[in-house]
Amino acid sequence: MCYEIYDRAVAFKSDLAIISKNETWRYDFICRRAKHFATLLLGQKDDLSEARVAFMVNPGVDYVAVQWAIWIAGGIAVPLCLTYPPPSLQYVIDDTEADFLIASDEYQEILEPLCHQKKEICFFFNFRYDAIQDVSGKIFTYIEFIPESHDFIYQRDNQFA
């Protein structure tokens, strides 16, 4: 797991880190959010064991938090270009052999068809609940990726039922 960037950022927790859409974000907020997302990604696991995680999130604080979360969880971050057409996105996902895909909900419509072409590898961060939503629309408090079998175990929180 890669804690180096997180550890460095914590040392500057009260410093300004990002200015996006006239909002400011401090390192403390980004670190807490990244740790939370990493926890969602890890589930009961200690490490993603360098699983490739393709992600499609708008630039800004959530992009940084998702990218850091992947690194903290021990995954390899594979950013997807927001302007790529679906065939190009599919190429990147296939070429990198992404174990799973994370996207913010505004990209769900674009990416869902690509997920069904393989196995269910798509998870959409639900930023409103700070949870993960799968392609069926179920919201989970965490997912667990099992690298050996490339399977997932879901934990569902009753508050999202």
Instruction: Specify the higher pLDDT residue, 117 or 99.
Output: 99
Percent of the chain with pLDDT over 70: 68
Which pTM value belongs to this model?
0.77
pLDDT recorded at residue 20 = 80
| CATH 3.40.50.740 for the 4-160 domain, yes or no | no
**What distance lies between CA 146 and its chain's CA centroid?**
16
pLDDT recorded at residue 157 = 45
Q: What is the DSSP string of the chain?
A: ---HHHHHHHTTTTSEEEEETTEEEEHHHHHHHHHHHHHHHHTT-S--TT-EEEEE--TTHHHHHHHHHHHHTT-EEEE--TT--HHHHHHHHHHTT-SEEEEEGGGHHHHHHHHHHSSS-EEEEETTTTEEEETTS-EESEEEEETTTTEEEEE--GGG-
Rounded mean pLDDT of the chain? 76
66-115: pLDDT as tens digits = 999 999 999 999 999 999 999 999 999 889 988 878 888 788 788 877 77
